[in-house]
A and B are shown apart, each in its own frame.
Chain A
């Protein structure tokens, strides 16, 4: 599956919204917040392509629900990207961006992290890929593509040296 093509679908969706937002200036502009690491890359590029003044990063490490099982090991990959929300969260219309949605546990943790910074007026979720297999009552407001993959495979977004996105499939070990 082509991550770049899915990215353009996501961008198109937001461009359509931006036009609407401009038509009603009273309506607050949305703020993008990407989930570290893949979602943050997406948010960064979306902010550039949409000429938004800023984008936020949400790191879910402090609110993960598998600490008792895995300790902080899951924190390592995202440790260089702490949560950074360069806009007022209280009353904001926030669009969470992530690469892959599956169990919904990461999104639950992201909402907790976000609410530690304030009380947004509205939160939406947009993802490149939805693998299904939900374990929590969470759904995305926009999905670029629904993808069915065996459970033992991990779908991960990668960014190459030129900044282009690719999906990479790994076998889950242990």
Chain B
């Protein structure tokens, strides 16, 4: 059931150790994560209300191709806004209606985009590791950013989650973080667990039914809980995930109401966490399935701030890789 992810050295830095692609957070050194977060903090100031021109010229003359083999309006839009604020030209490719549907191979598609002078390829693919394959193929002046590959990684989401936690909690060294729900299909959960571990978070918990938790979690130093009450006690950060029906086999998870009864984030359950705990969700959110509306819209929710920070994080990543 659980697809074993084979760890293989993915080259996302140049000889000087600088980021040239962003493919995974697994194995990314702490200094590099911190550097991305610090750079993103700079880019938050681009939308400072006092700034009349909310755009900077760093990527002027560069072309960013949004290559989404799997739909995601939010992620694609935030990459597009980030590229626009950096003054890049953005080209969105709707793959479902393009040459791939006519039988063109992935590498042929990529070669054509390189011939069209692409500088940055933002890739979302339903096959794990497809962005790595592309990164290995492109010449050094083309940069690849993984915008989510299968159930493997979603590094910019992981980074924006780290940014959000750092913004509200300042320090990872005393943090207790609980991730709830469909961990096994979640590239977001994996990226978060890798980054949190690297940043020195001492306690990462996952909460969910056995069928949705991968079997190798203990190896990552993660505490496993099968009930919300125990898992939420005393945490600083509560992150709920969407049930990914499209990646599931039938009967793997209690349907809608049954899941909510067991694992839905309600106000009563949230009260078990620390009083100042923040609630996060990578979106899209299913109200009444994994989260109650009162929590999603409540004072502890930082779900919409995550989206805003995501733009700054994507600006940071794009301007870093394109400059190296």
Q: Are B53 and A116 in contact (CB under 8 A)?
A: yes
Stretch at the interface among A1-9, A20-28, A57-65: A57-65
Complexed CA–CA distance, A149 and B56 (Å): 34
Q: Are B323 and A70 in contact (CB under 8 A)?
A: yes
Enumerate chain B residues within 8 angstroms of A61, measured Cβ to Cβ: 42
Enumerate chain B residues within 8 angstroms of A79, measured Cβ to Cβ: 38-39, 41-42
B13 part of interface (Cβ distance < 8 Å): no
Enumerate chain A residues within 8 angstroms of B320, measured Cβ to Cβ: 71-72
Complexed CA–CA distance, A63 and B57 (Å): 7
Complexed CA–CA distance, A70 and B39 (Å): 15
Q: How large is the interface on A (under 10, 10 to 19, 20 to 34, 35 or more residues)?
A: 20 to 34
Complexed CA–CA distance, A89 and B49 (Å): 13
Size of interface on B: residues with Cβ below 8 Å to A: 22
- Contacting residues of chain B (255-299) with chain A, CB-CB under 8 angstroms: none
Q: Are A117 and B51 in contact (CB under 8 A)?
A: yes
Q: How far is the CB of A68 from chain B (nearest CB, A)?
A: 8
- Contacting residues of chain A (63-83) with chain B, CB-CB under 8 angstroms: 63, 67-68, 70-73, 75-76, 79-80, 82-83
- Contacting residues of chain B (219-245) with chain A, CB-CB under 8 angstroms: none
Measured CB to CB, the nearest residue on chain B to A76 is B35
With A85-B50, A117-B51 already in contact, the answer to whether A72 and B41 are too (CB < 8 A) is: no
Measured CB to CB, the nearest residue on chain B to A68 is B323
Fill in one digit per residue for B10-44: 1 if any A CB lies within 8 Å of its CB, else 0.
Answer: 00000000100000000000000001001101101
Q: Are A80 and B48 in contact (CB under 8 A)?
A: no
B45 part of interface (Cβ distance < 8 Å): yes
Complexed CA–CA distance, A8 and B53 (Å): 36
Measured CB to CB, the nearest residue on chain A to B56 is A62
Measured CB to CB, the nearest residue on chain A to B58 is A67
Q: How far is the CB of B283 from chain A (nearest CB, A)?
A: 27
Measured CB to CB, the nearest residue on chain A to B60 is A67
Q: Are B18 and A73 in contact (CB under 8 A)?
A: yes
Complexed CA–CA distance, A82 and B322 (Å): 21
B319 part of interface (Cβ distance < 8 Å): yes
A91 part of interface (Cβ distance < 8 Å): no
Q: How far is the CB of B61 from chain A (nearest CB, A)?
A: 9
Complexed CA–CA distance, A68 and B57 (Å): 12
A118 part of interface (Cβ distance < 8 Å): yes
A-B contact count (CB 8 A): 55
Q: Are A117 and B41 in contact (CB under 8 A)?
A: no
Q: Are A118 and B56 in contact (CB under 8 A)?
A: no
Q: Are A116 and B51 in contact (CB under 8 A)?
A: yes
With A82-B45, A116-B52, A116-B53 already in contact, the answer to whether A62 and B58 are too (CB < 8 A) is: yes
Measured CB to CB, the nearest residue on chain A to B324 is A71
Enumerate chain A residues within 8 angstroms of B324, measured Cβ to Cβ: 71
Complexed CA–CA distance, A123 and B38 (Å): 30
Complexed CA–CA distance, A82 and B48 (Å): 10
Enumerate chain A residues within 8 angstroms of B39, measured Cβ to Cβ: 72, 75, 79
B46 part of interface (Cβ distance < 8 Å): yes
Complexed CA–CA distance, A119 and B52 (Å): 10
Q: Are A82 and B58 in contact (CB under 8 A)?
A: no
Complexed CA–CA distance, A76 and B39 (Å): 8
Enumerate chain B residues within 8 angstroms of A115, measured Cβ to Cβ: 53
Measured CB to CB, the nearest residue on chain B to A85 is B50
With A71-B323, A72-B320 already in contact, the answer to whether A118 and B52 are too (CB < 8 A) is: yes
Measured CB to CB, the nearest residue on chain A to B87 is A62
Q: How far is the CB of B57 from chain A (nearest CB, A)?
A: 7
Enumerate chain A residues within 8 angstroms of B57, measured Cβ to Cβ: 62-63
Q: Are A75 and B42 in contact (CB under 8 A)?
A: yes
Complexed CA–CA distance, A67 and B61 (Å): 13
Complexed CA–CA distance, A75 and B324 (Å): 13
Fill in one digit per residue for A49-63: 1 if any B CB lies within 8 Å of its CB, else 0.
Answer: 000000000010111
Q: Which residues of A contact B (CB under 8 A)?
A: 59, 61-63, 67-68, 70-73, 75-76, 79-80, 82-85, 89, 115-118
Kindly list the 5 A-B residue pairs having the minimum CB-CB distance in the complex, ordered from nearest: A71-B323, A62-B56, A82-B45, A116-B53, A79-B38
18 A-B pairs with C-beta separation under 8 A: A62-B42, A67-B319, A67-B323, A71-B322, A71-B323, A72-B319, A73-B18, A79-B39, A82-B41, A82-B42, A82-B44, A82-B45, A83-B48, A83-B51, A85-B50, A115-B53, A117-B53, A118-B52
